[in-house]
Amino acid sequence: MAVTGAPSSVFLLAQNRLLREALARILDKKTDLAVVGACAFCEAALEQVTAAMPDVLVMDSFTTTPSHLQFTREVQRLVHGIKIVMIGMESEEPSFLQAVREGAVGYVLRDASALEIVSTVRAVAAGEAVCPPELCLSLFRYVARQCQQVPSFQVRVSLGLTSREQQLMLLIGRGLTNKEIACQLQLAEQTVRNHVHRMLRKVGADNRLAAVEVCRMQGLAV
C-alpha cells in the first residue's frame, strides 16, 4: 500500500489485453499513480492482486455472477483498505447499486474517455468516491430507502424480532416471495423460509399478510 509521498499503486483487472496495456501506459505517465500489476479475470487473479497489495483495483465488466461477487469480497478481505474502481459499466440503476453494495467507490461508464478514467482513479486513490452525475440521484434514493429500513427498537422489544427478521419483514411487506428475498439478500431460499417460519411464530400470525399487519401496528414501516 502507498506511503505518504509515494505514488498510489494501481492494479488493472481487465479481460481485454489491449485495454490493460492502454490503461497501463496512460496511468504510468502520471507521477502520482503507479501500475503494479495487470491481468485478466482468471483463477490466479486473486493471488496476483493480493501479492501486489495495490491501493486501487481497476476492474472492467463487473457482473453479478457468483465468481465476480466472491472475488470482490475476497479481495477486500485480503487487501485491507483497497479501493475498487469499476470501468466500462452500464448506466442502469440496478447494476450501479449492485456495484456500490459490493464495495465499488468509483464507477465509470462505457463511453468514458481515458481522461475520465484517470481522473476517477486519482480521485478514488485520494479517498474520494466517484460516480456518473446521472446516477447520483439513484444513490441518494438508495440511501433514503436504507434509512427507512432501520430496524425499529420498539418492534425488537415488543415482538422479539431480530434485525435480520425485521429486514425480511420489510421485504415481505413489499410483496416479495421467499425466492426473491433470498436473491436480493444473497441467502439460501431455505434460510429465508426458516426465518419466515420463526417470525410468524414470534408475532403470533398464521400467514405472511397477518404478520405484516401486526408489525405495522407496532410501528414498523412495512
User: Distances from the Cα of 193 to the Cαs of 14, 63, 215, in angstroms?
Assistant: 39, 27, 18
68 burial class (0-12, 13-18, 19+ CB within 10 angstroms)?
Answer: middle
Q: Is 177 helix (H, G, I), strand (E, B) or coil?
A: coil
Of residues 158 and 193, more confidently modeled: 193
User: In sequence order, which residues have a C-beta less than 8 Å from that of residue 78 and are 6 or more positions away?
Assistant: 46, 50
Are 168 and 199 within 8 A, CB to CB? yes
Last-in-domain residue among 117, 143, 169: 143
Q: What is the rounded CA–CA span in Å between residue 38 and residue 58?
A: 9
pLDDT band at 4 (very low <50, low <70, confident <90, very high): low
Statement to judge: residues 50 and 159 lie in one domain? no
How large is the C-alpha radius of gyration of the chain?
21
User: What share of the chain in percent tops pLDDT 70?
Assistant: 86
Write down the pLDDT at residue 153. 47
Spatial separation of the C-alpha atoms in residues 2 and 56, rounded to whole Å: 10
From residue 29, give the alpha-carbon distance in Å to each of 7, 22, 51, 89, 156. Answer: 11, 11, 23, 24, 56
CA neighbours closer than 13 Å in the CB half-sphere of residue 36:
20
- What pLDDT, on the 0 to 100 scale, is given for residue 173? 85
Residue 128 lies in a domain: yes
pLDDT digits (tens, 9 = 90+) for 120-148: 999 999 999 999 999 999 888 877 766 55
In a domain, 58, yes or no: yes
**Three-point CA angle 100, 23, 105, nearest 5°:** 15
Asked whether residue 190 falls in the same domain as residue 134, the answer is: no
Domain boundary among 121, 143, 165: 143
One domain for residues 33 and 81: yes
Split into its structural domains, the chain has a count of 2
Q: Above 90 in pLDDT, residue 209?
A: no
The answer as to whether 39 is a domain residue is yes
Q: Residues 198, 118: one domain? A: no
Mean pLDDT of 35-40: 96
The residues, ordered by sequence, that sit 6+ positions from 201 with a Cβ below 8 Å of its Cβ are none
In a domain, 1, yes or no: no
Residue 2 forms part of a structural domain: no
User: Which conformational region is residue 133 in: left (phi greater than 0), alpha (psi within -120 to 50 degrees), or beta?
Assistant: alpha
Average pLDDT over residues 37-45: 92
Domain membership flag for residue 41: yes
Residues 125 and 35 in one domain: yes
- Same domain assignment for residues 52 and 24: yes
Give the domain CATH number at 179. 1.10.10.10
> Do residues 140 and 120 lie in contact, with contact meaning Cβ atoms separated by under 8 Å?
no
Range of the domain at 195: 149-217
